[in-house]
Structure 1
Amino acid sequence: MNQPSSNLPQLGEWSGPEELLLLQEKQLQQTVAWAARSPFYRERLDAAALPTTIADLAALPLTTKQDLRDNYPFGMLAVPKARLATYHESSGTAGNPTPSYYTAEDWVDLAERFARKWIGMSAEDVFLVRTPYALLLTGHLAHAAARLHGATVVPGDNRSLAMPYARVERVMHDLDVTLTWSVPTECLIWAAAATAAGHRPGTDFPALRALFVGGEPLTPARRSRISRLWGVPVIEEYGSTETGSLAGECPNGRLHLWADRALFEVYDPRTGTVRADGEGRLVVTPLFREAMPLLRYNLEDDVSVSYDDCACGWNLPTVKVLGRAAFGYRVGSRSITQYGLEELVFTLPDSYEVLFWRARAEPTVLRIEIEVPEEHRAAAAAELAALVRAEFGVETEVVGLAPGTLIPHDALTSMPDVVKPRSLFGPDEDWGKALLYY
């Protein structure tokens, strides 16, 4: 990878676990010193005996999402406010927001970690960023990483009325977009929008080199389907607004934790024990985060971590991210997960053209709806029902729906005007939306 280098650790600077441990412990004392400046950790840490080793750190209690919410907005701040570069909040929180903030120096680490893509980014790339910019970190993170390598950024957002799917499709086609960043579901919707516009996803976008995805669990079957649709690699990323990128994919398709830039532990919530590998909840201590240090932060994501060798030579632990996909709904005596269902849906033959589905878990029956052309409807429904019954052993009803039912055609083709606020109207104009420009 052609990366501008900073003074931070770079891939290839260690040859094995022992050297990686030395890198981690070398930075840990600075990380703890930064943490001791924040009101939250000032109360939690004993200033006379700050942790200096990874073993010392393990004696501290975990930091939780609730701790961040309870200390909203600046109870975790470890630098003067004047040094902050950005403020963010994570999505989907109840009650107080989950705040995060970063200095300009923190942003060097953030951008470098996200840019660790095996396929590389350069000034020749046109990079569509199709994740939220508002308050979340994700859009800004990809934007900064792309600019670090000189790429042209198309700030697409996916919460903006100014960027409907028809415009996304037009931009991808007309601007010769080479790389994209989005949740996996977006890639399927783009394919439908491209088809609605008369374009073929795998043929009429020859500049496209790869699809970068993250933000939701991705099964191997759905990933493979997206890759076949577009004819390019689908490269997975894992992270959070509170931490930035935590893991990226190597050329062998394995997610590696950025253990040179953060410490990782695996926490078993049933027993309260913590270990370096195995299955459990991921706990992270970013090592180069000054504005808002986090010591032993429990992401609450279910993962499986391994220190087995990988042929890529990065000498970093690997992680399988289950997210919160382990959560399921009961049907009869079985727990049904979205992850498990998704894998079955996308094992259906490509010729059935099934991209979109939904399911409802009821006490005695699992009801599934799939969009599928009429000529394949009966076969697709019967085949999926058989797959689900064989996998889960529950009563299953699968209904085939006409394309455009779950994702309306108008959502793929409409191009609404981007309006500005008005206060003056003509005699025949509707002034009911004066000032409200949506």
Structure 2
Amino acid sequence: MTSTINRLPQIGDWRDAAELTALQDAQLGQTMDWASRSPFYRSRLTGAARTRAGLTALPPTTKQDLRGAYPFGMLAVGRDQLATYHESSGTAGAPTPSYYTTDDWTDLAERYARKWVGISAADTFLVRTPYALMITGHLAHAAARLHGATVVPGDNRSLAMPYSRVVRVLHDLDVTLTWSMPTETLLWAAAAKAAGHRPGTDFPRLRALFVGGEPLSPARRRRISAIWGVPVVEEYGSTETGSLAGECPQGRLHLWADRAIFEVYHPRTGELTPTGDGQLVVTPLFREAMPLLRYHLEDDVEVRDDGCDCGWALPTVRVLGRAGFGYPVAAATVSQSRLEELVFGLPEAYGVMFWRARAEPDLLRVEFEAEGAAGAAAAEALTTSIRAEFDVPSDVAAVPPGSLVPEHVLTGVHDVVKPRSLFGADEDWDRGLLYY
């Protein structure tokens, strides 16, 4: 990295919003110079001032821009300088490319490692997100190694790592930290119980669960923490940008505004502001391989600059995700975040962890796993809370455990084989070249 700054900013290098803005502006010119080397930004930046005013004069960069520039139209360095290539997990069909240099990875790993519980050489860190084209597993792995932790690469896209094996690893290796989607931690709890373990007591070395990748309601977060008996520490980011926000000791998500410039796009007006409710736009400041100027993430967020007792002097963010929208039911709009808050607001004694809902034009159908009297009581309570929250007709039903998450998913062990071409007379040779 050829930054004019000798080192990357660290928390504590600024005291207030004015000093933070000055820190951003000191790096912005270099960032825009890097961007001008890429085919995509070259014409956009011709004659543009390398200043905040020059940046805000530019139109946002969209996901479609990245898809249109596939594979290397955003590249601002030589191919020989790249360390990794990635694509996001989006479902739009067309690939969204991202690439990083070795120095870019220093910034990525440092941002992710800003966890208030800390990461050290004493930790055994289970990474339970994809080791694939997405950045998520590689990012946690790099951050853990940066601080000397032992990494257990428990990719959640591999048949070689079923839930039964996750539980065994968590227990037998004395795992202290994990990284996964929030839903994964509930599946682990169910699998642990199926294996005869008690999640809150039989994993004494576990000290925190790092989660991200999907919206997390406060009620579900509290439930996960209660089940495992450890803090749930939230992380927010993307393959295109790396970590964008992390939690402070006060439990609030802060945007890493010393490493990026953030704006909020308001879809109704097209206006971009430093704070407010809208969609997040980000300009990473230390990204040389693939600079992004005013990149529109399309995530629904609430950004505030109202201070925090942690003293970090960074804006806070509440992430609603692209699932922040709702579905119409009768005269109301039902969102997953609001409904999830009701489901996990049920008493813990009811044992509700897995649920699903269908928004029909005139009826909200909800099913959740629960047994006997607890299921009946939970259904009655949830029906009442849905009526109070949304004022829509609902059909709420408890279904037997295993209906939504089958037992074999929690306890099964997959037969993972290597490819071969020679078989005996009684062997299945239809699986010869495809190993799974």
The CA deviation at 1:224 is 0.2
The CA deviation at 1:92 is 2.0
Alpha-carbon distance in 1 for matches of 2:48, 2:153: 43
Q: Which moved more, 1:37-46 or 1:164-173?
A: 37-46
The question of whether the paired residues in 1 share the 8 Å contact of 2:33 and 2:50 is answered with no
Structure 2 counterpart SS, 1:298: strand
The CA deviation at 1:433 is 1.2
The question of whether the paired residues in 2 share the 8 Å contact of 1:32 and 1:50 is answered with no
Report what 2:26 is aligned to: 26
Alpha-carbon distance in 1 for matches of 2:210, 2:52: 33
The CA deviation at 1:430 is 1.3
Which of 353, 364, 367 lines up with 1:366 in the alignment? 364
Alpha-carbon distance in 1 for matches of 2:250, 2:25: 29
Report what 1:171 is aligned to: 169
Structure 2: runs of 5+ lacking an equivalent: 1-5
Report what 2:10 is aligned to: 10
The CA deviation at 1:50 is 2.9
Structure 1: runs of 5+ lacking an equivalent: 1-5
What does the per-residue CA deviation read over 1:272-297, in whole Å, with 9 as the maximum and x for residues that have no partner? 11111111111100000000000000
Report what 2:180 is aligned to: 182
Alpha-carbon distance in 2 for matches of 1:143, 1:72: 26
Alpha-carbon distance in 1 for matches of 2:327, 2:267: 20
**1:257 partnered with 2:248:** no
**1:272 partnered with 2:270:** yes
Structure 2 counterpart SS, 1:44: coil
Alpha-carbon distance in 1 for matches of 2:414, 2:64: 40
Structure 1 counterpart SS, 2:318: strand
Alpha-carbon distance in 1 for matches of 2:50, 2:78: 25
The CA deviation at 1:217 is 0.3
The CA deviation at 1:51 is 2.8
Letter in 2 for 1:30: Q
Which of 305, 308, 319 lines up with 1:307 in the alignment? 305
State the identity as a percent. 71
Alpha-carbon distance in 2 for matches of 1:326, 1:229: 26
Report what 1:388 is aligned to: 386
Alpha-carbon distance in 2 for matches of 1:52, 1:43: 14
Which of 131, 135, 138 lines up with 1:133 in the alignment? 131
Report what 1:292 is aligned to: 290
Report what 2:92 is aligned to: 94
Report what 2:42 is aligned to: 42
**1:345 partnered with 2:347:** no
Report what 2:74 is aligned to: 76
Report what 1:146 is aligned to: 144
Structure 2 counterpart SS, 1:189: helix
Alpha-carbon distance in 2 for matches of 1:404, 1:51: 60
Letter in 1 for 2:43: E
Which of 242, 254, 268 lines up with 1:244 in the alignment? 242
Alpha-carbon distance in 2 for matches of 1:306, 1:330: 29
Report what 2:320 is aligned to: 322
TM-score normalised by L of structure 1: 0.97
Alpha-carbon distance in 1 for matches of 2:355, 2:154: 25
Structure 2 counterpart SS, 1:325: helix
The CA deviation at 1:96 is 1.8
